[in-house]
């Protein structure tokens, strides 16, 4: 989940409520924040602090993403051993991300994190402050979260998130105004591993440029099947009229579970 | 007279006939000649003529490919890709011949102009293609003299109803036909719905919303609504990218069709076959006009240095 706030007060109010909700459901609570700011930030005694600066920070004092992902795996495993129902993490992204951040790195980081969160069945809220990043970068960050709250900047109109290993969901509308974000997100996902299934049930519109990004996913791994699930009839028709069935036989279409296959 | 013999270069012939009997008297021998030479044959005419031809050919009809022109050629811009697919689909190279009747009396004026453009563009698309022979029947008993005159300009070889062949004295390879890209379209109706758009975020989404609502209210079926929405989005995207960053959308209904026009300040200076040639899968753009042609029942493109207008038609019985 992505939560965008405009002030520190708003941030703390949201953080406390979010952690209390986790405690009620038996989750072990973590807060990712620089230790020197923890007291100022508040938080109950049951909350375990994770200081990114103590996680083998890189030279620019930013934790390497893979180190953070490994830490999440460790705390999730330990929490289950201790009898918790799972983990709930409140990550203050001010202390996690480099500044200034490259937009493509931001999306890549979040998409990979989304995979880890899905794998661990964890609940993670990434808290962003409006002033920390340009509005356009934050808008693209919002696009790679399944849930968004707070006061997000201008919406880019699409969402991409991880469902299972190799399975991703895309929703919203893809056209000239945001196909660059879609392409960056899919490139980041493919760089981390193959896309085996793309669920499109919530995709209300996709332009020819968006379809081209889909073809690039298929072409990236010609030896591997890519299933596009829940595609709209018009997407399937466009795919056929572009003769992509013939060019990319490794890409198949599949209806939603329980839905009949259209002739 | 044209010397007989094996087909070498692309031959594009117009057959002038009156009535079904003259049609069959000429087309059946044309097909049988192709069968005798073991050529691949595709016939694209209306379903009534397909039935008549199949009856005349008997069991030989199984050796011939047939397609209904009222479906394949509803939008005449889909015909060159269909011929191209037929040419490319043969596993082993052998001569090809075809019969295509894209112009008939019931064509609307807008369709007629685009079908005439198609006839001219066949010369551009397949000029130099060896061992390809296309015969285009014209029912001169039902078509006006100006249509016949245009057929003489777009076909290098003319065939009379008695089978006599002659060179067309008025043939022009890529002539200034009524459907040239710089020929203006009739003005839209004064009460058309108008919306100006630009490159602002969300503008294309608004364009799609307007088209979608208009098409639904006009009674188009689901496929018609979605097809028009996708096609308009692609044309409007071209306006944003290449047409000065903005454009104007106009919508109206006419004779059971929804017509959507997108105008901008750009100029399409590419090949006259634009929208009729499918870009290779590796190519990053160039699919918008192709999709529009494949999804809409008629697409009219007019472009000059002063601006471009693309008019998309989707009929009430869209399939």
Q: Which of B201, B262, B294, B297 should one mutate to test binding to chain A, selecting the residue with the greatest count of A CBs within 10 A?
A: B201
pLDDT of residue B160: 95
Would A2-152 and A159-254 be classified into the same CATH topology? no
Q: Which residue has the higher pLDDT, A222 or B263?
A: B263
Interface A-B, measured as beta-carbon pairs within 8 A, has a size of 72
DSSP labels for A204-246?
A: EEE-HHHHHHHHHHHHH-TTS-EEEES--HHHHHHHHHTTHHH
If one compares B18 and A71, the residue with the highest pLDDT of the two is: B18
Q: Which of A176, A178, A211 sits opposite B237 (nearest CB)?
A: A176
Q: Quick check: B42 pLDDT over 70?
A: yes
pLDDT tens per residue across span B266-299: 998 778 898 999 988 888 888 999 999 999 999 9
Q: At what angle do helices A135-143 and A179-192 cross, to 10 degrees?
A: 60
- A159: β partners: A171
What is the pLDDT confidence band of residue B19, given thresholds at 50, 70 and 90? very high
Neighbour tally for B195: CB within 10 Å: 17
User: Confidence class of residue B15 from pLDDT cuts 50, 70 and 90?
Assistant: very high
| Cα–Cα distance measured from residue B263 to residue B302, given in angstroms and rounded to the nearest whole number | 9
Q: DSSP secondary-structure letter at A57?
A: B
Q: Is the pLDDT of residue B174 over 50?
A: yes
pLDDT-derived band at B304, boundaries 50, 70, 90: confident
Please write down the HEC assignment for all residues of A76-138.
Answer: HHHHHHCCCCEEEEEEEHHHCCCCCCCHHHHHHHHHHHHHHHHHHCCEEEEEEEHHHCCHHHH
Of A47, A5, A7, whose CA–CA distance to A28 is shortest? A47
pTM for this predicted structure? 0.87
Q: What pLDDT is attached to residue B5?
A: 47
Q: Where are the domains of chain A?
A: 2-152, 159-254
Average pLDDT over residues B69-75: 95
**pLDDT score of B238:** 95
**Cβ–Cβ contact B197 with A under 8 A:** no
- Are the beta carbons of B260 and B251 closer than 8 angstroms? yes
The reply to whether B209 touches chain A by the CB within 8 Å rule is: no
Rg (CA), chain B: 21
User: What ipTM does this complex have?
Assistant: 0.91
To test the contact with chain B by mutation, choose from A153, A212, A218, A248 the residue with the greatest count of B C-beta atoms within 10 A, namely A212
Q: Phi first, then psi: what are they for A213, rounded to 5°?
A: -65, -40
Taking each helix axis from N to C terminus, what angle separates B203-217 and B222-242, rounded to the nearest 10 degrees?
150
Cβ of residue B239 closer than 8 Å to a chain A Cβ: no
Q: Where in chain B is the domain with CATH 3.30.565.10?
A: 184-315
- How far is the CA of B246 from the CAs of A3, B196, B199, in angstroms? 35, 8, 6
The arrangement of secondary structure in A159-254, i.e. its CATH architecture, is: 2-Layer Sandwich (3.30)
> Could you tell me the two tokens for B127?
């000029």
Q: What is the pLDDT along chain A (263 residues), one digit of tens a residue?
A: 888 888 777 777 778 888 888 888 889 998 888 777 665 444 455 888 888 777 765 566 566 778 888 888 888 999 999 999 889 998 888 877 755 667 777 778 888 888 888 888 888 888 888 888 888 888 888 888 888 888 887 788 899 999 988 999 999 999 999 999 999 999 888 888 888 999 999 999 999 999 999 999 989 888 888 999 999 999 999 999 999 999 999 999 998 665 554 43
DSSP string spanning B224-250? HHHHHHHHHHHHHHHHHHHSSSEEEEE
Per-residue pLDDT, B155: 95
Three-class secondary structure of residue B105 per DSSP = coil
Q: Chain A residues with CB inside 8 Å of B229's CB?
A: 205, 234
Q: Which CATH class is domain A2-152?
A: alpha beta
pLDDT at B234 over 90: yes
- B31 vs A125, higher pLDDT: B31
Q: Which residues of B touch A209 (CB under 8 A)?
A: 237, 285
Residue A51 pLDDT: 83
Any chain A CB within 8 A of the CB of B246?
no
**B234 → closest Cβ in A207, A215, A219:** A207
Cβ separation B234–A219 shorter than 8 A = no
Contact A242 B282 (CB under 8 A): no
Considering only CB atoms, A175 lies closest to which of B205, B278, B294, namely B205
CATH of domain B11-179: 3.40.50.300
CATH of B184-315, one of 3.40.50.1970, 3.30.565.10, 3.20.20.70, 3.30.70.1400: 3.30.565.10
- CA-CA distance, B278 to B280, in Å (whole number)? 6
């Amino acid at each position: 989940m992505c939560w965008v706030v405009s002030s520190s007060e708003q941030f703390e109010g949201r953080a406390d409520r979010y952690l209390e909700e986790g405690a009620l459901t038996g989750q072990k609570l973590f807060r990712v924040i620089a230790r020197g700011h923890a007291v100022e930030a508040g938080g109950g005694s049951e909350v375990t602090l994770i200081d990114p600066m103590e996680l083998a920070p890189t030279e620019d004092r930013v934790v390497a993403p893979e180190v953070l992902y490994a830490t999440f795996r460790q705390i999730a495993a330990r929490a289950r051993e201790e009898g918790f129902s799972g983990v709930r993490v409140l990550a203050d992204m001010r202390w996690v991300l480099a500044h200034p951040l490259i937009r493509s790195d931001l999306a890549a980081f979040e998409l990979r994190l989304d995979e880890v969160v899905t794998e661990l069945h964890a609940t993670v809220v990434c808290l962003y402050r409006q002033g920390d990043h340009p509005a356009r970068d934050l808008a693209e960050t919002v696009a790679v979260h399944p849930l968004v709250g707070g006061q997000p900047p201008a919406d880019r109109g699409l969402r991409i998130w991880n469902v299972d290993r190799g399975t991703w969901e895309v929703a919203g509308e893809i056209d000239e105004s945001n196909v660059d974000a879609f392409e960056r997100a899919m490139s980041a996902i493919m760089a981390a591993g193959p896309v085996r299934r793309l669920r499109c049930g919530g995709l209300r519109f996709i332009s020819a440029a968006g379809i081209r990004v889909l073809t690039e996913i298929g072409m990236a791994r010609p030896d591997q099947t890519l299933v596009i699930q829940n595609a709209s009839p018009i997407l399937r028709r466009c795919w056929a009229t572009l003769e992509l069935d013939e060019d990319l036989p490794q890409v198949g279409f599949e209806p939603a579970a329980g839905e009949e296959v259209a002739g | 007279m044209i010397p007989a013999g094996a087909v070498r270069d692309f031959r594009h012939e117009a057959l002038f006939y009156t009535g079904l009997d003259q049609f069959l008297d000429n087309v059946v021998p044309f097909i049988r000649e192709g069968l005798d030479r073991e050529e691949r044959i595709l016939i694209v005419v209306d379903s009534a003529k397909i039935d008549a031809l199949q009856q005349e050919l008997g069991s030989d009809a199984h050796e011939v490919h047939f397609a209904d022109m009222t479906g394949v050629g509803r939008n005449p811009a889909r015909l060159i890709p269909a011929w191209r697919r037929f040419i490319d689909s043969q596993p082993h190279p052998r001569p090809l011949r075809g019969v295509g009747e894209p112009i008939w009396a019931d064509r609307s004026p807008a369709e007629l102009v685009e079908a005439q453009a198609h006839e001219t563009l066949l010369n551009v698309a397949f000029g130099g293609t060896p061992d390809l022979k296309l015969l285009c029947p014209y029912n001169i008993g039902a078509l006006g003299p100006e249509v016949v005159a245009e057929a003489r300009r777009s076909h290098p070889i003319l065939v009379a109803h008695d089978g006599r062949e002659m060179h067309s004295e008025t043939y022009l390879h890529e002539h200034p036909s009524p459907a040239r890209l710089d020929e203006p379209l009739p003005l839209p109706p004064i009460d058309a719905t108008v919306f100006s758009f630009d490159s602002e975020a969300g503008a294309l989404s608004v364009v799609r919303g307007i088209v979608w609502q208009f098409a639904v209210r006009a009674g188009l079926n689901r496929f018609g609504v979605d097809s028009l929405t996708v096609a308009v989005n692609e044309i409007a995207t071209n306006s944003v990218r290449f047409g000065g960053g903005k454009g104007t959308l106009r919508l109206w209904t006419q004779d059971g069709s929804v017509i959507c026009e997108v105008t901008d300040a750009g100029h399409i200076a590419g090949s006259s076959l634009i929208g009729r040639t499918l870009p290779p899968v590796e190519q990053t753009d160039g699919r918008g006009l192709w999709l529009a042609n494949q999804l809409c029942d008629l697409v009219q493109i007019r472009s000059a240095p002063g601006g471009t207008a693309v008019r998309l038609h989707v009929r009430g019985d869209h399939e």
